[in-house]
Amino acid sequence: MKKIIVFVFTLFAISAGTAQDPDPDLLRTWHLHNLVLDGENNVPYGVGFSVVTEYYYEAGDDQYFMYLPTDIDLGTSWLEFDPIDPIFTIVDHVGLAEGICNEFPSPCWDFYAIFRPFYHDFFGTPMSYEINDAGGGELQLIVTNVNGDQAIYYSYVLGTGVSDLASLVIYPNPTAEELFIASENIVFESVEIYSVGGERILLISENVKSINVSSLSKGMYFLELNTTHGRTIQKFIKE
C-alpha cells in the first residue's frame, strides 16, 4: 500500500513540475516598439497611441490568453505553453476586438495591416519568446515566429510623435555626427541610445544638450531620455 501511495505522489510531483506555465514576467501589458519583418524595421510611429499586447491568466477557465486589439479582428486568443521551452502556440480565438483605427485610410490601418498577420497567419504554429532586463526596472519582450520575424516590446510606452514632452526636440534627424537636444526647463538625469534590437549602446548619466554619434553604424536607433519631467523615447537615423 505504501508503494502505491509513493508512486501516486511521485506522478503528481512530476506532473506539477511540468505544468505548462509561462514566465510570470510575461503576464502583463506590453508596448510594441518595433516590428521586424524580413529584416526591415517597422516602428509604430504615427499610429496615434501605444500598440499593445496583453498576456494574462484566467483562473476561472484555468487558461492563458493573449489580448491583441487591432484594426478589425483578433482580440482574445487562447494560448498553450510548452512545458520546457519559452514557446507558446495560439490555439484559437475566443473573442473579437472592436476596431481601434478611427479612419481609413490612415497610418493606423497601414501599420496594423502588417502587424496583424504577424500573429494571425501563424495560428497553431509555435512562437518563441524571450524576456530581457531593459534597465531601470523595465523589461523587454521579443516574440519570434517561424519566419524569423520579431515583435519587440517593452514594458513602457513608446513615444508616438516627435516628443512626449512638448518642449523637447532632437535635431538634425537624420544625422551623421552630432545629435542635439533642445528643451525648455528640462533636466536630463540620463541619456541612453539603444539599437533596434534593444541593445544599449551608450549611457550618459548627466545633463547633456548634444551627443556625438559619429562612431555609430548607419541605421535606426532609439534615444531614451530620462528627465525630471518623466521619460520619453525618440527615434533617430544615423547616416
Which of the listed residues 111, 127, 154 is the one where a domain comes to its end?
154
Same domain? For 187 and 104 the reply is no
Same domain? For 33 and 104 the reply is yes
Same domain? For 72 and 180 the reply is no
Same domain? For 175 and 113 the reply is no
Parent domain of 194: 169-238
Give the residue from 16, 29, 110 showing the smallest Cα distance to 65. 29
Same domain? For 183 and 232 the reply is yes
- Per residue in 187-233, pLDDT (tens digit) is 778 888 988 777 888 998 887 888 999 999 998 888 888 776 566 77
- Per residue in 10-30, pLDDT (tens digit) is 443 333 444 478 999 999 999
Domain with residue 190: its CATH number is 2.60.40.1930
Q: What is the pTM of this model?
A: 0.62
Same domain? For 123 and 146 the reply is yes
Tally of structural domains, the chain: 2
- Asked if the structure places residue 12 within a domain, the reply is no
Report the distance separating Cα 64 and Cα 77, nearest Å.
Answer: 9
